[in-house]
């Protein structure tokens, strides 16, 4: 019986962070499950198109990858989703997978932060990087989708776990940077660290975080350091994606 793990990411066109994050997640999953064929799919059509036109690199959509697996005689596929929340992109994955559910046994992992227990796991995975004498601001993507609630929930969990100097903001949702600035101005500390709460340190990290957010904080009198590491570069986070796969192998419901 042929089995596969399809690692599904939003994608990135930045080569270096691609290998350090998405590539690293895929490789760790490949090592953890040597009896499975591990393949890649992106959900961003724009990135797939850019990689094709710029680099001549072909990357499958979820539908393309599943079609190939069906045609090649695979009987089971675990879709290992690397997305952060249950947003629009995750909805697209579910919709695409359901089309093939009568032709191949499909299981889909949950995103990084979905269940209440996931917040504690994420904090444990990256909590070691936070110093007490600095303010840390994690930049999430944000969305109009109701799943955006995961970001303020994560902020709350950080505070509940004793990380009073860690804040979670978003580029396109709530909380915004302005909401965070209002809060951190109440603290005596003026040393701020920005880091992406995204799988890759791509366009948003390079342009929004390291330029616009940095300048906004400096204008308020903060000394700002930027950590240009996507979540995929942290071993603890990659282990959580492996754990999501293991959860599905142990008996998550099929379609």
Q: What is the pLDDT of residue 53?
A: 97
The burial of 32, by beta-carbon neighbours within 10 Å (0-12 exposed, 13-18 middle, 19 or more buried), is given as middle
**Which is nearest to 201 in space by CA: 111, 123, 128, 139?**
139
Active-site residue set? 141
Q: What is the pLDDT of residue 254?
A: 41
Q: How many CB atoms lie within 10 A of CB 252?
A: 13
The two tokens of residue 159 are 């505070």
Instruction: Tell me how far apart the alpha carbons of residues 200 and 10 are, in angstroms, rounded to a whole number.
Output: 10
- pLDDT tens profile 53-63: 999 999 999 99
**Which is nearest to 6 in space by CA: 37, 32, 35?**
37
- Which bin fits 114, alpha (ψ -120 to 50), beta or left (φ > 0)? alpha
- pLDDT tens profile 186-242: 999 999 999 999 999 999 999 999 999 999 999 999 999 999 999 999 999 999 999
Q: What is the pLDDT of residue 1?
A: 86
Low-confidence ranges of the chain (pLDDT < 70): 252-255
DSSP H helical ranges for 56-176: 62-71, 88-98, 116-126, 150-160
Instruction: Tell me how far apart the alpha carbons of residues 25 and 153 are, in angstroms, rounded to a whole number.
Output: 25
């Amino acid at each position: 019986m042929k089995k596969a793990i399809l690692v599904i990411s939003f994608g990135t066109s930045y080569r270096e962070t691609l290998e350090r994050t998405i590539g690293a997640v895929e490789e760790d999953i490949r090592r953890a499950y040597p009896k499975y064929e591990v393949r890649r799919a992106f959900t961003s059509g724009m990135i797939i198109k850019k990689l094709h036109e710029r680099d001549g690199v072909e990357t499958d959509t979820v539908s393309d990858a599943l079609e190939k697996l069906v045609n090649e005689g695979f009987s089971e596929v675990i879709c290992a989703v690397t997305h952060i929340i249950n947003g629009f992109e995750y909805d697209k994955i579910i919709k695409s997978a359901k089309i093939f559910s009568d032709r191949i046994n499909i299981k889909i992992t949950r995103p990084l932060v979905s269940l209440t227990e996931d917040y504690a796991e994420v904090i444990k995975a990256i909590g070691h990087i936070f110093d007490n004498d600095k303010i840390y601001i994690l930049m999430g993507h944000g969305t109009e989708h109701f799943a955006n609630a995961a970001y303020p929930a994560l902020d709350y969990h950080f505070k509940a776990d004793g990380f009073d100097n860690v804040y979670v903001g978003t580029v396109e949702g709530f909380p915004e940077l302005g909401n965070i600035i209002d809060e951190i101005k109440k603290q005596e500390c003026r040393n701020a660290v920005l880091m992406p709460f995204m799988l890759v340190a791509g366009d948003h990290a390079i342009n929004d975080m390291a330029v616009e957010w940095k300048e906004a904080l400096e204008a308020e009198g903060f000394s700002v350091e930027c950590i240009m590491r996507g979540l995929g570069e942290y071993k603890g986070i990659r282990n959580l994606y492996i754990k999501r796969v293991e959860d599905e192998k142990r008996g998550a419901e099929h379609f």
